[in-house]
């Protein structure tokens, strides 16, 4: 008989949905040690095999892997709702870019990212893929809050308050990476803004750095029909074909939006094992269009989910994006079986981890992965009765049902209260920015 | 100098969005007397003119008219999530109708409606338009919970556990109306299920009763392309043209769904001042299609919002439907200005009241209307910063931000706690039904 093993933590839950394999386990225990999942077993096996130093009981909850928000501009929480009901180009050119030029500083990014991280944690998101100016200020905010993050180092060909030209963007970004590259929960990618804002020469440069430093590349691409039409008029190829020609595509390439693609583009994404980040809320709000998610899935393209920034959403809410992804795919494909609940949940967890190259560590509740967990309470009238926990996660649950969140085994949300974050101070900072920006 | 008037209640709020007129009032007071709105004035005027017997302060809230859920099958909460990812006909024929045949009793309707009413109240809905079997059992549940409701008396040409034939449906429905017609918060309509389930002779009969008793008619219509195709094949006319020919349409006709309509149908709805209830969540989930909301609004057709039943949604959440109505209209019309926030809010309040013929009493915060109010808390990080309260109501707020609800001046939700409803008992009833139905 084996001696029971001493471990840090045991979490008993009514339901556990590990994502891998598909389905829901009833009355199981997650055993956590040294920040990682040591076991996922029926409760009686946990009784026999483990002696936990602490225990948590979640008798009317579903535990899932922490959600992965695969595309956001975190600091833009400070611009939440500042301009609505406008199409992408007008929204960018009239509402967003002028305000960014005037107000975006390291302090703006730091405070906006703090607010975003708090919002995401309360909504069950444990990892995000951020893309914004002053990534060093954002990195500091993520360290303070404990959220796992990949920071996209922004690259543009026009000057902003952050950098004067493409070389300066690259230099500032790589300096931020040097400063934070040993931070255990931070990762980095190169983030040229979009094909239409970054010239060939810069893209070529980005590809060289990405290879030398082994960094993923993420970019907004084919977000609007106008973007694709103008690209075709200028270069007689789609934006994706152009990036393929320039060597940017491949298994570390993350195509954000990818709404207006032709069959050759889809084939290219599939053949080169690129990743797509679908942002249904933002694409709908800006009237950009509906990405061909059913076609991507049919070709086994890895599709993750993103909230985009709070200025175009206006929430960093991956439960909402799961539901929107399922609903939008159904109504646009005419097939009610399109993007069923289990697929939407996988898009918001494991597929996000795969897109970020972090699936060895996060995205599902497999033994050995980090203990990034989200507990959802299903005891209220809004989630009763319940016949299928996976269906409920997408169709009935909202982010307010998130009760507890762990990242790397550390409990960062407990009974809806953020741990180690002063929520009142955060709210007053948000209000101070509101006064300045209004 | 006028003597200050003694009144029942004064509510001070940081923001009040009365719907009529459009926009947000800062630091105003709602003065309530005898269950009705006596005044909506700046706080200093309220100080001068009224002496309230009780006062409520809502310093970080937006107060809006209670939401009107213009189409639901309340008791179907008991079937929430029992079958997903299926198109309408398969969903009805394989999943829903067989279970209804086996389980639907007055007790089922009573308990399911109680759960629905609790969910709706907690989500800021103060009035719903219900359509289900055993409306007398539903009426009793609404009286217990205090929700305002219009009960659609169901009519079908095929037998169910509720009635054997169309005459029996009508007789049972009218008996329920007789029993509850003096209930102050209940109203009634005739609810033939759909053109394809009710024959011409029954429709003609319904029209006679509707005229004699001055009752509105509500029906599901043009929900799927298949329905319209089969109707055209059978009668060489659209379902709406058929109902027009049979005399059912007019200013008391409520067309639920109205997704697949041609230009002549839209013209008919506009010319006859019919009402449309748009159910974006249900239409998307069942892949039924997207109603031409932008066209309806351009022709001044009154468009209200409904959740449909929890079996096809899976939530009775009008904040979600506001957001979906705005997002779906934008993405399907390609116009980001389509269904802006103020329009979505009007659809969920005043337009619903107009569709139900109740706009003299509810739907906006006008003096003389009933004090049906929903308070939304905007102090959390998810709703900070805030530049435009109306935008926030649609784009950032969710139903969990609803803090307080009054109906006819009675506070039925206080700091998210239902008053006069035993939430724990309700949850255990839901679980008991879950065991029986699973």
State which residue of chain A sits closest to B438, comparing Cα positions.
Answer: A387
Q: CB B285 to CB A341 under 8 A?
A: no
The answer to whether residue B14 neighbours chain A at the CB level (below 8 Å) is no
Tell me the shortest Cα–Cα distance from A19 to chain B, in angstroms.
18
Residue of A165, A189, A166 whose CA lies nearest to A177: A189
Contacts of B384 in chain A (CB under 8 A): 77, 80, 115, 427, 430-431, 434
The secondary structure of B25-52 as a DSSP string is: EEEEEEEEETTEEEEEEEHHHHHHHEEE
Asked if pLDDT for residue B89 goes beyond 90, the answer is: no
Helix ranges (H only) for B146-250 are: 166-180, 200-213, 225-235, 239-245
**Any bridge partners for residue A218, and if so which?**
A254
Residue B351 has what pLDDT?
98
Q: CB B398 to CB A399 under 8 A?
A: yes
CB atoms within 10 A of CB B85: 22
Q: CB A283 to CB B331 under 8 A?
A: yes
The answer to whether residue B330 neighbours chain A at the CB level (below 8 Å) is yes
pLDDT band per the 50, 70, 90 thresholds, residue B1: low
Q: CB A314 to CB B399 under 8 A?
A: no
Contacts of B427 in chain A (CB under 8 A): 379-381, 384
Residue B86 has what pLDDT?
84
Q: CB B286 to CB A336 under 8 A?
A: yes
Q: Compute the distance between CA of residue B77 and CA of residue B72 in angstroms, rounded to an integer.
A: 10
- Cβ B117 vs Cβ B307: under 8 Å: no
Tell me the shortest Cα–Cα distance from B322 to chain A, in angstroms.
13
Contacts of A89 in chain B (CB under 8 A): none
* Residue written as token pair 């209670």: B66
Which residues of chain A from 103 to 142 reach within 8 Å of chain B, CB to CB? 115, 118-119, 122-123
Listed in sequence order, the residues at least 6 apart from B299 whose beta carbon sits closer than 8 Å to its beta carbon are B266, B267, B269, B270
Tell me the shortest Cα–Cα distance from B115 to chain A, in angstroms.
7
> What is the rounded average pLDDT of the residues B49-67?
98
Q: CB A80 to CB B398 under 8 A?
A: no
What's the mean pLDDT when you consider all of chain B? 97
Least confident of A89-93, B247-251, B410-414: A89-93
Contacts of A80 in chain B (CB under 8 A): 384-387, 396
Q: What order of strands is seen across the sheet that includes strand B25-33?
A: B36-42, B25-33, B5-16, B50-65, B373-377, B402-407, B410-414, B417-418
Domain boundaries, chain B: 5-65+369-418, 67-355
Q: CB B81 to CB A391 under 8 A?
A: yes
> Which fold does the domain A5-65+371-418 belong to in CATH?
Urease, subunit C; domain 1 (2.30.40)
Residue B276 has what pLDDT?
98
ipTM above 0.90, yes or no: yes
The answer to whether residue A422 neighbours chain B at the CB level (below 8 Å) is no
Cα separations in angstroms, A366 against A31, A49, A65: 11, 18, 9
Phi, psi of A71 (to 5 degrees): -160, 120
Residue B2 has what pLDDT?
77
> What is the rounded average pLDDT of the residues A30-59?
98
- Cβ B374 vs Cβ B124: under 8 Å: yes
Phi, psi of B288 (to 5 degrees): -70, -35
Contacts of B115 in chain A (CB under 8 A): 381, 384
pLDDT band per the 50, 70, 90 thresholds, residue A88: confident
Which residues of chain B from 39 to 68 reach within 8 Å of chain A, CB to CB? none
Q: What sign does the dihedral B358-B361-B366-B370 (CA atoms) show?
A: negative
Identify which of B289, B314, B391 has the shortest CB distance to residue A396.
B314
Specify the 3-state DSSP secondary structure of A394.
Answer: helix
> What is the rounded average pLDDT of the residues B261-281?
98
Q: How many CA atoms lie within 13 A of B136 on its CB side?
A: 13
**Which CATH architecture describes the domain B5-65+369-418?**
Roll (2.30)
The answer to whether residue A229 neighbours chain B at the CB level (below 8 Å) is no
Residue of B287, B225, B235, B234 whose CA lies nearest to B262: B225
The secondary structure of A171-234 as a DSSP string is: HHHHHHHHHHTT-TTEEEEEEE--GGGS-HHHHHHHHHHHHHHT--EEEEES-SHHHHHHHHHH
Tokens at B51, concatenated: 């002496």
pLDDT in tens, A141-158: 999 999 999 999 999 999
Tell me the shortest Cα–Cα distance from B85 to chain A, in angstroms.
4
CB atoms within 10 A of CB B298: 12
Residue B290 has what pLDDT?
98
Q: CB A430 to CB B80 under 8 A?
A: no
Asked if pLDDT for residue B91 goes beyond 90, the answer is: no
Listed in sequence order, the residues at least 6 apart from B102 whose beta carbon sits closer than 8 Å to its beta carbon are none
Residue A299 DSSP label: T
Contacts of B340 in chain A (CB under 8 A): 84-85
- Cβ A125 vs Cβ A304: under 8 Å: no
CATH class, domain A67-355, is: alpha beta
Residue B253 has what pLDDT?
98
Q: CB B430 to CB A381 under 8 A?
A: yes
pLDDT band per the 50, 70, 90 thresholds, residue A1: low
Residue A177 has what pLDDT?
98
pLDDT band per the 50, 70, 90 thresholds, residue A87: confident
Interface test with A, best of B75, B76, B77, B81 (most A CBs within 10 A): B81
The answer to whether residue A85 neighbours chain B at the CB level (below 8 Å) is yes
Asked if pLDDT for residue A2 goes beyond 90, the answer is: no
Residue of A315, A198, A200, A306 whose CA lies nearest to A255: A306
pLDDT band per the 50, 70, 90 thresholds, residue B139: very high
pLDDT band per the 50, 70, 90 thresholds, residue A438: confident
pLDDT band per the 50, 70, 90 thresholds, residue A181: very high
CA angle, corner B308, sides to B303 and B314, nearest 5?
130
Residue B134 has what pLDDT?
98
Is A67-355 the same fold as A5-65+371-418?
no
The answer to whether residue B312 neighbours chain A at the CB level (below 8 Å) is no
Tokens at B208, concatenated: 């006679």
């Amino acid at each position: 008989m084996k001696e029971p093993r001493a471990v840090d933590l045991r979490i008993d839950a009514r339901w556990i949905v590990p994502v891998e394999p598909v389905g829901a386990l009833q009355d199981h225990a997650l055993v956590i040690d040294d920040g990682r999942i040591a076991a996922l077993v029926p409760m009686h096996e946990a009784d026999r095999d483990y002696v936990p130093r602490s225990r948590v009981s979640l008798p009317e909850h579903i535990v899932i892997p922490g959600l992965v928000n695969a595309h956001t501009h975190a600091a833009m929480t400070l611009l939440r709702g500042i301009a609505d009901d406008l199409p992408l180009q007008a929204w960018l050119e009239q509402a967003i870019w002028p305000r960014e030029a005037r107000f975006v500083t390291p302090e703006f990014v730091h405070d906006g990212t703090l607010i975003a991280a708090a919002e995401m944690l309360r909504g069950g998101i444990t990892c995000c893929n951020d893309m914004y100016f002053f990534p060093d200020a954002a990195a500091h905010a993520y360290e303070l809050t404990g959220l796992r993050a990949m920071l996209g180092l922004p690259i543009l060909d026009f000057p902003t308050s952050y950098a004067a030209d493409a070389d300066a963007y690259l230099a500032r970004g790589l300096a931020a990476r040097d400063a934070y590259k040993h931070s255990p929960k931070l990762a980095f990618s190169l983030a040229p803004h979009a094909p239409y804002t970054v010239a060939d020469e810069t893209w070529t440069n980005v590809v060289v750095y990405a290879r030398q430093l082994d960094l993923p590349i993420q970019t907004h691409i084919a977000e609007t029909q106008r973007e694709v039409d103008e690209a075709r008029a200028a270069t007689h190829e789609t934006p994706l074909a152009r990036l393929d020609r320039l060597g940017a595509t491949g298994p570390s390439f993350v195509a954000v939006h990818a709404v207006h693609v032709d069959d050759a583009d889809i084939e290219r994404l599939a053949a080169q094992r690129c990743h797509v980040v679908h942002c249904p809320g933002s694409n709908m709000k800006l009237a950009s269009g509906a990405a061909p998610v059913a076609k991507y899935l049919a070709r086994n393209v890895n599709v993750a989910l993103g909230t985009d920034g709070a200025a175009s959403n206006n929430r960093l809410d991956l439960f909402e994006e799961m539901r929107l992804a399922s609903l939008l795919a159904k109504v646009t494909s005419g097939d009610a079986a399109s993007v069923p609940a289990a697929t939407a949940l996988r898009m918001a967890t494991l597929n996000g981890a795969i897109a970020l190259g972090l699936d060895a560590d996060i995205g599902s509740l497999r033994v050995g992965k980090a203990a990034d967990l989200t507990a959802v309470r299903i005891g209220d009238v809004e989630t009763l009765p319940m016949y299928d926990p996976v269906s409920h996660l997408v169709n009935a649950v909202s982010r307010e049902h998130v009760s507890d969140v762990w990242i790397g085994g550390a409990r960062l949300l407990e009974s809806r209260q953020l741990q180690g974050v002063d929520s009142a101070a955060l709210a007053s900072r948000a209000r101070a920015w509101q006064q300045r920006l209004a």
